[in-house]
Amino acid sequence: MSIHPSAVVAAGAVVPASCAVGPFCTIGPEVVLGEDCTLISHVVLDGRTRIGARNVFHPFCAVGVAPQDLKYGGEPTALEIGDGNTIRENVTVSRGTVGGGGVTRIGSDCLLMAGAHIGHDSQVGSHCILANCATLAGHVVIEDFATVGAFCPVHQFCTVGKYAFIGGGTIVTQDVLPFSKTSSRRENKAFGANSMGLERRGFSPERIRLIQKAFRLLFVSKLNTTQALEKMRELEGEDVAQLVGFIERSERGVIK
CA 166 to chain centre: 12
Positive or negative, the CA dihedral 203, 159, 130, 126 is: negative
Instruction: Spell out the residues 6+ positions from residue 59 whose beta carbon is closer than 8 angstroms to its own.
Output: 40, 41, 42, 43, 89
From the candidates 138, 149, 167, 197, which is the catalytic residue? 138
Q: Please say if 121 is a catalytic residue.
A: yes
From the candidates 22, 28, 46, 121, which is the catalytic residue? 121
Q: Please say if 120 is a catalytic residue.
A: yes
From the candidates 120, 125, 175, 197, which is the catalytic residue? 120
Side-chain-side CA neighbours of 203 within 13 Å: the count stands at: 23
Active site residues: 120-121, 138
